[in-house]
């Protein structure tokens, strides 16, 4: 384990493991946790995460989750484990479904088994598992509630294996909770966006912001009328420790996200407007963007009643601020609008 942290700081109250802590959401979570005084260890293989995302106050294990748990972390104890490491997003999954299934299901199983005895004196550590709104598959009963039925396409269409792999993760966490008393919480994240997110793996908002900053056409897949709800990552990560600290949240699944829908075409126009870009908006058929027969969902909006009544959580950061902050994080400080300076 390499430690870049200050070992002279006072003893921290909590020992916390974050898998995927060099990734987009993980790095924001680590910043929050070290900020409240936790002793944080990050494990990440940097497959999509970035070294520059690492917080210097956290210890870092550069390894695959499985190797880390049987190697450098085998004898470590943790009070809390946040499991974010995964192959994320439809594009990566369509490109390499085998790896996505093996990582998403296999590593979650490893983490949950490890957590059973990872606490002090071989007690269970609390675990938060990041699942996805993709678990709802192509259900149409928007807004989606945690106990709704889920509906997937055929197994011959690899697009659905991301949602299915996350659903298996949820089954695993809930089974460990029921059968072994593991204190586990599942969060189903809807579209999470914010500074530090990159467009390389098909994430829609940084892809749009990149195109807008470069004055290229913004490519909207399909007819652009499909709607999504975008929530700033700095709001999203606030919910994680609050849920783990709430005894009634254990053994339950929570939607986390915004419940304000926007069509993807309007999102593109909002990016253009917010960044005062000269970009046009171009529609690209799904078959060209992904693969022939690709199925997308029309609408995906969470019912947030459960998390609101449990911990009173709600999102606060407005979309235009998120767009400006993404632009700033992509190095857009010198655009005509000076977007970095106008972020609040
Ligand atoms: N970003 C979103 O909108 C969104 C939506 C729903 C769910 N999620 C979930 O949130 C979590 C974090 O997603 P993100 O957007 O930050 O993605 P990300 O790709 O930035 O983060 C994933 C991290 O996990 C690491 N990783 C992957 N496989 C690993 C392995 N085998 N061992 C060690 N590290 C590994 C990657 O290097 C990366 O740092 C994921 O579980 C994802 O499914 C994200």
Residue nearest to atom 26 of ligand 1 (CA): 85
Residues 6+ apart with CB under 8 A from 247: none
What was the pLDDT predicted at 172? Answer: 98
30-69 confidence digits (pLDDT tens)? 999 999 999 999 999 999 999 999 999 999 999 999 999 9
More confident residue, 105 or 337: 105
187-232 confidence digits (pLDDT tens)? 999 999 999 998 776 689 999 999 999 999 999 999 999 999 999 9
DSSP three-state, residue 274:
helix
What was the pLDDT predicted at 338? Answer: 37
How many whole angstroms from 23 Cα to the centroid of ligand 1?
6
| Angle at 13 (CA atoms; ends 85, 31), nearest 5 degrees | 45
Judge whether 14 and 79 are in contact, CB under 8 Å.
yes
From 21, 48, 60, 95, give the residue whose CB has the most ligand 1 atoms within 8 Å, as the site to mutate. 48
How many whole angstroms from 29 Cα to the centroid of ligand 1?
12
Residue nearest to atom 32 of ligand 1 (CA): 64
Q: Which residues are catalytic?
A: 162
Percentage of the chain exceeding pLDDT 70: 90
Query: Tokens representing 122?
Result: 């071989």
What was the pLDDT predicted at 337? Answer: 41
106-161 confidence digits (pLDDT tens)? 999 999 999 999 999 999 999 999 999 999 999 888 899 999 999 999 998 888 89
Ligand 1, pocket residues at CB < 6 Å:
19-20, 22-26, 43-49, 64-65, 84-86, 88, 103, 107, 130, 132, 189, 191-192
Q: Is 168 left (phi over 0), alpha (psi -120 to 50) or beta?
A: alpha
Model pTM? Answer: 0.92
264-300 confidence digits (pLDDT tens)? 999 999 999 999 999 999 999 888 887 677 777 889 9
What domains are there in the chain, each with its CATH number? Answer: 12-194+231-256 (3.40.50.720)
From 17, 18, 19, 20, give the residue whose CB has the most ligand 1 atoms within 8 Å, as the site to mutate. 20
Buried b (16+ CB within 10 A) or exposed e, 77-94: ebbbbbbbbbbbbbbbbb
- Which run of H or E residues covers position 231? strand 231-232
148-182 confidence digits (pLDDT tens)? 999 999 998 888 899 999 999 999 999 999 999 99
Q: Is 282 left (phi over 0), alpha (psi -120 to 50) or beta?
A: beta
């Amino acid at each position: 384990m390499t430690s870049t942290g200050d070992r002279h700081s006072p003893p921290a109250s909590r020992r916390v493991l974050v898998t995927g802590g060099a990734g987009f959401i993980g790095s924001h979570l680590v910043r929050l946790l070290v900020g409240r005084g936790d002793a944080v260890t990050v494990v990440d293989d940097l497959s999509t995460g970035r070294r520059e995302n690492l917080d210097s106050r956290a210890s870092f294990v550069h390894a695959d989750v499985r190797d880390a748990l049987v190697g450098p972390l085998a004898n470590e104890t943790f009070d809390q484990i946040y499991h974010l490491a995964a192959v994320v997003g439809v594009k990566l999954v369509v490109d390499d479904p085998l790896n996505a299934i093996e990582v998403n299901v296999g590593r979650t199983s490893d983490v949950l088994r490890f957590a059973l005895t990872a606490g002090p004196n071989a007690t269970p550590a609390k675990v938060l598992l990041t699942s996805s709104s993709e678990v709802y598959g192509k259900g149409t009963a928007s807004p989606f509630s945690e106990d709704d039925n889920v509906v997937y396409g055929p197994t011959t269409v690899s697009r659905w294996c991301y949602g299915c792999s996350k659903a298996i993760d949820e089954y695993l966490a809930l089974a460990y909770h029921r059968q072994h008393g593991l204190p586990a919480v599942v969060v189903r994240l809807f579209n999470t966006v914010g500074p530090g997110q990159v467009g390389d793996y098909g994430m829609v908002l940084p892809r749009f912001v990149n195109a807008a900053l470069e004055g290229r056409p913004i490519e909207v897949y399909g007819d652009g009328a499909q709607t999504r709800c975008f929530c700033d990552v700095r709001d999203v990560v606030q919910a994680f420790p609050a849920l783990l600290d709430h005894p009634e949240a254990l053994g339950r699944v929570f939607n986390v996200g915004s419940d304000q829908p926007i069509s993807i075409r309007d999102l593109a126009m909002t990016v253009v407007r917010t960044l005062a870009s000269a970009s046009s908006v171009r529609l690209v058929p799904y078959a060209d963007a992904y693969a022939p027969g690709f199925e997308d969902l029309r609408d995906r909006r969470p019912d947030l009643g459960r998390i609101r009544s449990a911990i009173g959580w709600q999102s606060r950061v407005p979309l235009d601020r998120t767009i400006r902050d993404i632009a700033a994080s992509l190095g857009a400080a010198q655009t005509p609008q000076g977007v970095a300076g106008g972020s609040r």
